[in-house]
């Protein structure tokens, strides 16, 4: 009996030693595998009370951080051919042979880098066979392109067009409606005498009145009414008129009319009618461009050579315009047919 108890005791001792030895090996292995492990410190420990090193671990964008909004304005874009002709050597034939992206590809480095580009459309887009409207002997021209013409604009990063021009009604109300449909399908916004355009970004609202100015007595009161209303709700107010009352672009009487728009609350008056771009004129706290000229001239292979982009930059802070500046980026009407490019000699 005693012998059995002795054997049993030895077994217990052996098992105990094995347990201790195995536990030690496991703990040692764990310590080696976690050599870089640093245990969490108690709140009251000395190390936990050390001063922070002062580094910022998270930075939030301040609410009044500055933003820059860039808007470009160009003059007339006549996208089409006389009576819609697609004969060899016409603008419409080039749409088919070169593709819609050909025409403004040289301007994309400028127009594609802004927030919006605004132009004046001087043609009709339609796939229907409408008859041209009657005109007097002083203007026997009608310009038309298929609905693909709208893609010439969108592929060139033109975002907004004025339809308050002298050729968008060349094919009557039906042609005008087709033009609007083609623009909307291409993602190009539009404005006219009845529909101003409002652009918004970073809490800034820009009002652009794309309008007709042919008769001072009838057109100017409507424009001034819009300016007075828009200037109360917009951070920047721009009048973009087409037509010059039969006067030269830099005529003093015409400049006086443009000045009255700034007096009423407009910040800029950027006119689009004549083929030649005129130098900007400072007026009060605003600026007048008597003519933006022609930017894309489907009516001729030999347009006025020098043109440009009038570009404004708005420095915005906390949903308000802190300051704004403008510049004219010189362009050549084309080096290749119907392809305006930045003037390499321009400054």
| Helix pair angle (252-263, 216-233), 10° resolution | 30
Residue 276 has pLDDT above 50, yes or no: yes
336 — pLDDT class (breaks 50, 70, 90): confident
What confidence tens digit (pLDDT) does each residue in 17-38 have? Answer: 544 544 444 444 444 444 443 3
Please state the separation of Cα 239 from the chain's center in Å: 18
Tokens of 107: 């301007």
Cα–Cα distance measured from residue 299 to residue 280, given in angstroms and rounded to the nearest whole number = 26
Cα–Cα distance measured from residue 112 to residue 284, given in angstroms and rounded to the nearest whole number = 31
Cα–Cα distance measured from residue 189 to residue 175, given in angstroms and rounded to the nearest whole number = 17
What confidence tens digit (pLDDT) does each residue in 53-96 have? Answer: 556 566 565 655 789 999 999 999 999 999 999 999 999 999 99
Please state the separation of Cα 227 from the chain's center in Å: 23
**CB distance 221 to 264 below 8 Å:** no
Phi, psi dihedrals of residue 14, rounded to the nearest 5°: -65, -45
Higher pLDDT, 199 or 247: 199
Domains and CATH numbers, the chain: 66-342 (3.60.21.10)
Sign for the CA dihedral angle at 326, 339, 162, 154 comes to: negative
CA angle, 162 as apex, 81 and 262 as ends, to 5°? 140
Cα–Cα distance measured from residue 304 to residue 333, given in angstroms and rounded to the nearest whole number = 7
**116-121 and 66-78 strand pairing:** parallel
Q: What is the mean pLDDT of the chain?
A: 85
**117, β-bridge pairs:** 72
Residue with tokens 């480095």: 109
Residue 318 has what pLDDT? Answer: 84
Residue 63 has what pLDDT? Answer: 56
Residue 53 has what pLDDT? Answer: 58
Residue 244 has pLDDT above 90, yes or no: no
DSSP for 15-37 reads: HHHHHHHHHHHHHHHHHHHTTT-
Range of weakest confidence among 17-31, 80-94, 112-126, 174-188: 17-31
Residue 57 has what pLDDT? Answer: 63
Residue 28 has what pLDDT? Answer: 47
DSSP 147: T
Residue 58 has what pLDDT? Answer: 65
Residue 37 has what pLDDT? Answer: 37
**CB distance 76 to 294 below 8 Å:** yes
Residue 345 has what pLDDT? Answer: 80
Mean pLDDT of 106-118: 96
Residue 128 has what pLDDT? Answer: 96
Tokens of 69: 């909004």
């Amino acid at each position: 009996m005693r012998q059995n108890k002795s054997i049993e005791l030895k077994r217990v001792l052996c098992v105990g030693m094995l347990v201790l030895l195995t536990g030690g090996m496991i703990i040692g292995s764990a310590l080696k595998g976690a050599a870089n492990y640093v245990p969490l410190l108690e709140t009251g420990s000395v190390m936990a009370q050390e001063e922070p090193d002062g580094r910022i671990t998270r930075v939030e964008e301040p609410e009044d951080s500055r933003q820059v909004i860039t808007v470009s304005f160009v003059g007339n874009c006549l996208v089409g051919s006389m009576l819609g002709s697609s004969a060899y050597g016409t603008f419409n034939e080039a749409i088919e042979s070169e593709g819609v992206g050909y025409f403004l590809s040289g301007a994309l480095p400028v127009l594609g880098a802004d927030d919006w580009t605004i132009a004046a459309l001087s043609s009709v887009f339609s796939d229907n066979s409408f008859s041209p409207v009657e005109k007097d002997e002083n203007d026997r021209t009608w310009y038309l392109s298929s609905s693909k013409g709208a893609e010439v604009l969108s592929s060139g990063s033109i975002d907004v067009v004025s339809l308050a021009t002298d050729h968008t009604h060349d094919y009557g109300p039906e042609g005008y409606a087709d033009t609007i449909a083609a623009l909307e399908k291409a993602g190009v916004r539009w404005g006219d005498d009845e529909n101003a355009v409002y652009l918004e970004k970073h809490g800034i609202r820009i009002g652009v009145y794309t309008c007709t100015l042919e008769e001072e007595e009838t057109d100017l009161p409507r424009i001034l009414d819009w300016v007075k209303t828009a200037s109360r709700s917009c951070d920047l107010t721009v009048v973009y008129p087409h037509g010059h009352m039969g006067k030269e672009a830099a005529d003093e009487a015409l400049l006086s009319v443009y000045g009255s728009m700034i007096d009423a609350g407009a910040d800029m008056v950027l006119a689009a009618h004549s083929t030649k771009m005129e130098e900007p004129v400072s007026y009060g706290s605003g600026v007048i461009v008597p003519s933006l000229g022609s930017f894309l001239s489907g009516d001729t292979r030999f347009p006025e050579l020098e043109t440009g982009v009038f570009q404004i930059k708005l420095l915005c802070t906390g949903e308000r315009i802190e300051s704004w500046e403008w510049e004219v980026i010189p362009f050549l009407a084309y080096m290749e047919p119907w392809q305006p490019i930045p003037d390499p000699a321009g400054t």
